[in-house]
Amino acid sequence: MTSPSRAQSFRCEGIVLRHRDAGEADRFITLLTPDRGLVRAVARGARKTTSKIGGHLDLLRHVSLTVSEGHTFRAVGQVEGIESYRGLREDLGRMSRGIYMAELAERFSVEDAPNPSVFRLLASALGLIEKTWDGTSARPVPAQGVILSEAKNLAQSSDLATRPATDSPTLDLLARWFEIRILHLSGFLPRFSSCAECGRDLEQRDHVFSAERGGLLCPDCKTAGGGERLLPAGVPAIKLLRHMARSDWPAVEGLRVPPDDLAQAERILRTHLRHVIDHKINSAAFMDEVRKWRNGGRRPPLPEDEVSG
Amino acid sequence: MVTGDPMSTPDIAPSTAAPVARLIEAFHRLPGIGPKTAQRLTYHLIRMPREQAEELAESILSIKDRIVLCGRCQNVTETPVCAICSDLRRDSTRICAVEEPLDVVSIERTRAFRGQYHVLHGVISPSNGIGPEELKVRELLERLRDGTVQEIIVATNPNLEGEATAMYLQRLISPLGVKVTRLARGLPAGADLEYADDATLAHALEARSEFKTGQ
């Protein structure tokens, strides 16, 4: 019997996460596929203007393709486009978030290891980026998100549609939801309901978060160890994190989250992601810069805003 | 099957003489040179007459010693200001911003542009940690200070990173009152509609033009 990885060629679908020029007109690409995780292959002649495959193999394109095994590298054969996420490509704010999500998906995937859930998450999130209101134009879909009892306290009385045109709350919320879902799917979701140190259920009050210990800490355990970073976690941010950890996007997108609470949730998730990945998230800086611009030059939330125990 | 990083060290036999191995590794670090090509070039050089090898070595050293970036357009040149920037017949109100020096050569070949250039030396590539501050964007803004420039033509490649760079420049420069335009996108000559991707086809449809009459 021949295993799939030893077959001479295989057909798969994938999203292009990375590419690099090679040779006269070739391009090395890295794809995230559902059945084989990361697949790296060379697309010969892809940089020629008359290439039949080059146009399909740009970053963040969802394609169906054949890949043949070679002595040195895998090679891309036929390619058909499935989704180009065109709306994402024509707006810097959406594009920067899509690139950020793609980098996270790559960091949580390995070569030749099936990862269908992360693939589906990325594919759906890129589609959502296209459709999600960015706060700068008329809202395409009325806010119909489910506001659960726990999340009701997050709601502000103001209508989202009347927010300042420089804000982009829903896209930020989508990025946070993606972060928490990819942590969940990869088994790295922090503990938000019980103390990460002693396991006791947490009371409804402000707590602190430790990436090193993997979650929120109760008052008895919150003393920081040597070099440990403790982040503040207020009640609204904790409720938001808990809600997002167990919800699909339709139950999240309608939430009206005050910017400070969203920023606090972001600091917690960003710090935790960096701890889990153990590597800088390269595309975060550009995403923050684009967002800062959109927000009229306001300083974006930074992970460094920490407290000591 | 091997799917390792193509930039990894080439597989050199332990019995290979040290200077040969060193040159193979040096070639392999160049863009587009795989392990086999690196070996082929090295063994070709071994057979090459000494004068030719010396000429090659001197050429490599001279580009390191004598080539500088033009103080205005950042293109590679031998003089503080390059030939295009010094040419008074060129239109100084239009600047074409390109990714790499080779892109200047490509556009010059068309003879369709008589303005000046600005070489960014790369594109914004967030996942590789390359942001605007790694490019020659600040130098481009400096050129807009005296108010001569009326249009920036962004000629970055029509891919995601090229678009990100173009949109970034548009956001940065438009508020300064300078027109920012982008190269048109569509089907290349010799292409086949059947194989065109949907985004390219959509752009081609949107930017369709009437037949020019009287020519």
What the block records as the tokens of A267 is 């600091």
Q: If you average pLDDT over residues A91-109, what whole number do you get? A: 95
A136-140, A258-262, B24-28, B89-93: least confidently modelled range: A136-140
The vertex-B98 CA angle with B95 and B101, nearest 5°, equals: 110
pLDDT given at position A79: 92
- Residue at A111 is within a domain: no
**Identity of the residue in B3, B126, B196 whose CB atom sits nearest the CB atom of A96:** B126
Strand partners, A25: none
Do A258 and A163 lie in a common domain? yes
Cβ-defined contact of B131 to A285 (cutoff 8 Å): yes
Do A48 and A190 lie in a common domain? no
CA distance A125 to B170: 27
> Which residues have CB under 8 Å from A78's CB, separation 6+?
A53, A65, A66
Do A59 and A145 lie in a common domain? no
| Nearest residue to B199 via CA among A130, A41, A144, A228 | A130
Q: If you average pLDDT over residues A260-273, what whole number do you get? A: 95
* pLDDT tier, A113 (very low <50, low <70, confident <90, very high otherwise): very high
Domains and CATH numbers, chain B: 18-66 (1.10.8.420), 89-184 (3.40.1360.10)
* pLDDT tier, A6 (very low <50, low <70, confident <90, very high otherwise): low
* pLDDT tier, B206 (very low <50, low <70, confident <90, very high otherwise): confident
- Residue at A307 is within a domain: no
End-of-domain residue from the set A48, A83, A118 = A83
Containing B93, the helix (H) or strand (E) segment is strand B91-98
Do A199 and A282 lie in a common domain? yes
Contact call for residues B74 and B121 (beta carbons, < 8 A): yes
End-of-domain residue from the set A83, A107, A142 = A83
Q: What is the mean pLDDT of chain A?
A: 82
Do A136 and A214 lie in a common domain? yes
Do A78 and A138 lie in a common domain? no
pLDDT given at position A155: 35
Q: Is the pLDDT of residue A166 over 80?
A: no
Do A61 and A207 lie in a common domain? no
**Identity of the residue in A5, A90, A286 whose CB atom sits nearest the CB atom of B126:** A286
Inter-chain CB pairs, A–B, below 8 Å: 106
Crossing angle (nearest 10°) for helices A169-185 and A92-107: 10
Phi, psi of A6 (to 5 degrees): -100, -5
pLDDT single digits (tens) B36-93: 889 999 999 999 999 999 999 999 999 999 999 999 999 999 999 999 999 999 999 9
- Residue at A102 is within a domain: no
Q: Work out the burial of residue B206: count CB atoms within 10 Å of its CB; fewer than 13 is exposed, 13-18 middle, 19 or more buried.
A: exposed
* pLDDT tier, B199 (very low <50, low <70, confident <90, very high otherwise): confident
Do A147 and A71 lie in a common domain? no
What the block records as the tokens of A249 is 């996007």
- Residue at A253 is within a domain: yes
pLDDT given at position A296: 52
Residue with tokens 């010969």: A44
* pLDDT tier, B204 (very low <50, low <70, confident <90, very high otherwise): confident
Chain-centroid distance, C-alpha A89: 17
- Residue at A243 is within a domain: yes
| Nearest residue to A87 via CA among A79, A73, A97, A74 | A97
- Residue at A187 is within a domain: yes
| Nearest residue to B23 via CA among B33, B51, A25, B55 | B33
pLDDT given at position A292: 80
Q: How many CA atoms lie within 13 A of A252 on its CB side?
A: 27
Q: Is the pLDDT of residue B1 over 50?
A: no
pLDDT given at position A225: 67
Indicate yes or no: pTM above 0.90.
Answer: no
Distance from the Cα of A128 to chain B's closest Cα (Å) equals: 18
**Identity of the residue in B32, B35, B202 whose CB atom sits nearest the CB atom of A22:** B32
* pLDDT tier, A250 (very low <50, low <70, confident <90, very high otherwise): very high
pLDDT single digits (tens) A276-307: 999 999 999 999 988 887 655 443 333 344 44
Contact call for residues B134 and B168 (beta carbons, < 8 A): no
Residue with tokens 């923050």: A288
pLDDT given at position A295: 55
Whole-complex ipTM: 0.80
The CATH number that applies at residue A41 is 2.40.50.140
What the block records as the tokens of A304 is 């460094």
The CATH number that applies at residue A239 is 1.20.1440
Do A60 and A151 lie in a common domain? no
Do A138 and A74 lie in a common domain? no
Q: Which of residues 150-179 of B touch A (CB under 8 A)?
A: 159-161, 163-164, 167-168, 171
Contact call for residues A243 and A252 (beta carbons, < 8 A): yes
Q: If you average pLDDT over residues A188-193, what whole number do you get? A: 95
Compute CA distances A168 → A64, A100, A254, A303, whole Å: 33, 16, 13, 20
Contact call for residues B114 and B91 (beta carbons, < 8 A): yes
Q: What is the mean pLDDT of chain B?
A: 89
Containing A95, the helix (H) or strand (E) segment is helix A92-107
Q: How many domains does chain A have?
A: 2
Q: Which residue has the higher pLDDT, B108 or A229?
A: B108
Distance from the Cα of A40 to chain B's closest Cα (Å) equals: 7
pLDDT given at position B32: 75
Q: Work out the burial of residue B138: count CB atoms within 10 Å of its CB; fewer than 13 is exposed, 13-18 middle, 19 or more buried.
A: exposed
- Residue at A23 is within a domain: yes
The residue type of B38 is A
Percent of chain B at pLDDT > 70 equals 94
* pLDDT tier, B108 (very low <50, low <70, confident <90, very high otherwise): very high
DSSP string for residues in A144-196: -----GGGGGG--SS-GGGS-TT--HHHHHHHHHHHHHHHHHTT-PPBSSB-T
Q: If you average pLDDT over residues B126-149, what whole number do you get? A: 93
Chain B residue at shortest CA distance from A85? B199
Cβ-defined contact of B191 to A23 (cutoff 8 Å): no
CA distance A65 to B130: 29
End-of-domain residue from the set A25, A53, A83 = A83
Cβ-defined contact of B191 to A50 (cutoff 8 Å): yes
The torsion of the CA quartet A202, A205, A206, A211, rounded to 10 degrees, works out to 10
What the block records as the tokens of B2 is 């091997």
Do A141 and A270 lie in a common domain? yes
Q: If you average pLDDT over residues A232-260, what whole number do you get? A: 93
Task: Show the domain range for A62.
Answer: 4-83
Do A71 and A156 lie in a common domain? no
pLDDT single digits (tens) A21-75: 887 788 999 999 999 999 999 999 888 887 888 888 999 999 999 999 988 789 9
Q: Is the pLDDT of residue A266 over 50?
A: yes
A149-153, A176-180, A249-253: least confidently modelled range: A149-153
Residues of B in Cβ contact (< 8 Å) with A289: 131-132
- Residue at A109 is within a domain: no
State the maximum Cα–Cα separation within chain A, in Å, rounded to a whole number. Answer: 66
Distance from the Cα of B203 to chain A's closest Cα (Å) equals: 10
pLDDT given at position A14: 96
Strand partners, A12: A65
Cβ-defined contact of B6 to A285 (cutoff 8 Å): no
**Identity of the residue in A40, A58, A287 whose CB atom sits nearest the CB atom of B160:** A58
What the block records as the tokens of A153 is 């306290």
* pLDDT tier, B191 (very low <50, low <70, confident <90, very high otherwise): confident
**Identity of the residue in A21, A71, A99 whose CB atom sits nearest the CB atom of B31:** A21
